[in-house]
Structure 1
């Protein structure tokens, strides 16, 4: 039995159309993709023959695209920016004292996937720290991806640095090549170094009274001054012991600024005679916040209370008359009157004496005038010695009178 032959015309037409498309779009990748899809559609057409029906293998459009892009190369994609970080640092044990020197050591690592080159490292200590005898800039030629390197910087804390953490900034500036391109980047890392001011809060020994008596209030004082650069806070003083009473055994003085001073005063009343033992404790916080305690022992001897005065003796003392108020002015007035009287009497005596001398002078002058007469001259020649004696006497008196007048 013969099978009928079936002639299929549509596949032939599809093949012709495919060839035309390939010729027209040989230089356009998009047209190549379209021709690939047309070829795939034509291959999927059912073909009838003697052997029966079959499916053609689909064409991989990926191969077509690869053939169309064979003249171009894909651009590589750049990776993430490499970062450099500090992984560890050291500055010594405890805090750095103000004015002290120390070595700042730190380790840094390249966390990127490519190497960094031409790295410049800078260290800045801010206001509290400085470089001690060196430079704050360092150069690293290259640091591979994932590699770690260490650096040590000599530093010093300033004498007037504040207590507490002082910031240190470490900067990294570098270049790197990724995907055939050279780029640059910078990273700033911040670390802290604790700085402490020395404790120079000075408290003097207590000043103890010398005449403390039982039942009489006395005072103990302590002078203090803050010689440090930092502030002192929460100053508190307490007086403990037996044999005395006080209004407040604890005194809160608060904060003491740098250079500040003051006095702690305790008013107490001894209740027992003899030796008194007490202790004054002063607590405060230094500039680092650390609590400090200072203790001062107090030892003094308390005398017996003074004996009470008898009421009869007190009455007698009250009855004794005092000095009148008017007595002193009266005495002063009498003294003035006496002085005036004495002055007046002296002046009168001098005046009388002067009058007597004047009379003697006049008499002597008269005698001189009478001696110039012949009788007087004859009488003088007869008695020369007596005349000479009489003449000398007035002369001496006149000399004395003239001296007094002068």
Structure 2
């Protein structure tokens, strides 16, 4: 009995121990499971993103984490800018694997915790306008400002902002415009033309459109412009044009318009509309160099998503940027504004962006976190960013070096080639510059060296007597020109009125410095550029004076006069007359006509039959640049024929037989002319002798009377 009790007790005790062990094991399993569920977040490797140098940063506050259990303290990793994640207003996403890099390799301003969170954007509406209203005003601040925008665009009666247009469509284009700052009276007094730009719509030349209607409502002028036979080329999804107002006195006002339309590709069309840099005071920065910090504001136009849809997914939207070039830890997205014709416009602001200088291309990936909307991948070149080129070391290879870069000490070190500065290109407007005019000279200065920069560049211009510098001196300073780089400088010049019509040289001289083999050296260079000058062509032909009538068979003389009022001689002047004349093809070679001289050419005009005589006097000549020109002066006159008048039938015609003998000629008509001459001379001689005899007689008589008195 005792043995049976002992066996039963042992069996019960063993069973109890077995159940206790099972309970303890089950409790430990539950405890470990609970610890795993509430334990700390551990970074786990995640698949690499599609683009290696682009990351995302969360813009939403991190969700509240469960209570963490104690874990061994781990050394926090050093943040690598390449692993940066910007999740703008997004939900919590898996943390990507961070690659540790040496701490000293990161700029001090870039050192931060790897967990980057973007605060929710402020509620203020920081939007970019979808369609900008253009305005143009005179320089005078008191002048009224004319503003306008496009209300509707119709092609063959179809609204292009609501309906899709296809390439090659052609027809009547109607534009509904709203104008402010101009009254109805002013509008009606202007002459109006329209010019399309961008060759998206042709014709692209200024034309006079048809203005179908215009009314004024609450100070806003509403007008409809119609243009016939306009072709859509499909270059872009915009219609851009300028409306020109002219008052007839030479002054005009240009008002530019731009409107987005629906095209075949509009549903998948998106672009970076603009990108600007600003400083901490929100002033625009036009040049960014390596190591600079600035704010980057990018305006996006997305035509594949509506404004309401965008605003609904904005808080989940994430943006990736190429952080090997642009490093930032904060970004925000503004509210979207609808674009006419569909689409949305919004701004992405990257704060405190560090520019590495490696490239000037901005690359973005925009994820709306919507399965129905694809990711937007955009690339935009930022002209404000200057690419940094490091100085070459002694081991760099250059294909233009004469040595083989042999590391053997038997070869001496060969210094780099001497750097030179040249005027690689220059522009003065093309053609010839005109005497007594102004022109702008733009020069591109290039450092030809592939290895060294040039510093402290002083450029000096030596202009000939024909030119005069305006608004600047002849000396310019350039701090640095990087190797294989160029800079531009612009100079305004005027041409003297008496400048010779030849090519005038301008001497461009440079003095500059460069560091070669740790030694600063000075250099100089000179170059000549030529500017051709042409004088104003003031050689003129006076109108030809013609008689009102000429007779058939008779020749009349006319004279063509021409004068050179210019400052240079005209050469090889030739005068010719053409027309339905009796002597066509008359031609005279005059030769050279100097400045201030007048010459003439005489021609004979005649007619073979009655009627209108018309023709031209043509003067051909060569100017100082050997360009052949012509002057023409048309003329017209009437040729009439000379005819004997017919006899009057009312008069009696005398019969020759009825005429009697003519009366005899008088005796004095029978004396020849020589007889009359001889008789006249004889009479004069006789009268002379008679007069002399009478005078002698009177003298003798007087003498006798004197003797008697005595």
Query: Into which bin does the TM-score normalised by the smaller protein fall?
Result: 0.5 to 0.7
Candidates 550, 559, 570, aligned match of 1:221? 559
Aligned pairs for 1:6-405 (under 5 A) are 77-92=414-429, 94-112=431-449, 113-126=451-464, 128-132=466-470, 134-208=472-546, 212-242=550-580, 244-246=581-583, 248-253=585-590, 255-259=592-596, 261-273=598-610, 275-302=612-639, 304-305=641-642, 324-325=673-674, 327-328=676-677, 330-349=679-698, 351-352=700-701, 355=704
Contact 1:162 1:196 in 2 (8 A): yes
Name which one, 1 or 2, has greater alpha-carbon Rg: 1
Structure 1 distance, partners of 2:636, 2:707, is 90
CA offset at residue 198 of structure 1? 0.7
CA offset at residue 258 of structure 1? 4.2
Contact 2:500 2:534 in 1 (8 A): yes
Contact 1:122 1:170 in 2 (8 A): yes
| Partner secondary structure for residue 617 of structure 2 | strand
Structure 2 distance, partners of 1:330, 1:98, is 81
Contact 2:541 2:633 in 1 (8 A): no
Contact 2:540 2:631 in 1 (8 A): no
- 1:51 corresponding residue in structure 2: none
Structure 2 distance, partners of 1:212, 1:354, is 78
Contact 2:429 2:439 in 1 (8 A): yes
The 3 A distance-change label for structure 1 pair 129 and 338 is same
CA offset at residue 275 of structure 1? 4.7
CA offset at residue 179 of structure 1? 0.8
CA RMSD of aligned residues (A): 3.7
CA offset at residue 352 of structure 1? 3.4
Contact 1:123 1:169 in 2 (8 A): yes
CA offset at residue 178 of structure 1? 0.9
CA offset at residue 159 of structure 1? 2.9
The 3 A distance-change label for structure 1 pair 330 and 228 is farther
CA offset at residue 200 of structure 1? 1.8
Contact 1:197 1:288 in 2 (8 A): no
Structure 2 distance, partners of 1:323, 1:217, is 41
CA shift digits 1:309-368 (9 cap, x unpaired): xxxxxxxxxxx9996356446524522431331242144245436646865x58xxxxxx
The 3 A distance-change label for structure 1 pair 81 and 350 is closer
Contact 1:222 1:265 in 2 (8 A): yes
Structure 2 gaps, min length 5? 1-408, 645-668
CA offset at residue 75 of structure 1? 7.5
| Partner secondary structure for residue 415 of structure 2 | coil
Q: 1 or 2 for the larger relative contact order (CA 8 Å, sep ≥6)?
A: 1
Contact 1:163 1:194 in 2 (8 A): yes
CA offset at residue 121 of structure 1? 1.0
The 3 A distance-change label for structure 1 pair 250 and 357 is closer
Contact 1:76 1:179 in 2 (8 A): no
The 3 A distance-change label for structure 1 pair 349 and 275 is farther
| Partner secondary structure for residue 216 of structure 1 | coil
TM-score, length basis structure 2: 0.34
| Partner secondary structure for residue 582 of structure 2 | strand
Contact 2:578 2:584 in 1 (8 A): no
Higher helix share: 1
Structure 1 distance, partners of 2:623, 2:640, is 40
The 3 A distance-change label for structure 1 pair 131 and 270 is same
Structure 2 distance, partners of 1:298, 1:126, is 46
